[in-house]
Amino acid sequence: NGDMRTVHRQMKDVANIINSVYSPLNIFIALVGVVVWSEQDEIPLEENGDRTLTNFLQYRKTRLLAEIKNDNAQLLTRQKFQDGVVGKALKGPICTYEFSGGVS
């Protein structure tokens, strides 16, 4: 489907841009997979960004890692978070297996 091809191309573009930012620091970013929730949301999406992040990190740990091995996962959603927040991630533990993810 054309929409899915567009989504995959856009995600590759985003990964390439992020890689260009981090590569001078000898950190390399590679897109290892794209999952599109087309039937239903796999987690509760809430206006509270912290709860959505917690839900997503649990999903990553219990389901996503079994499907796609990854060091970090990002949920891109149209969910609007409270107080003008545009994204959430845990500062510090992002380099840990359990907490390496974010929502925006």
Q: DSSP state, 23?
A: G
**Run of H or E including 49:** helix 49-59
Question: How much is the pTM?
Answer: 0.89
Domain boundaries, the chain: 1-34, 44-104
Amino acid at 49: G
Q: Enumerate residue ranges in the chain where pLDDT < 70.
A: 1
Report pLDDT for 97. 81
Report pLDDT for 1. 67
Report pLDDT for 92. 78
69 CB-near residues (< 8 Å, 6+ apart):
32
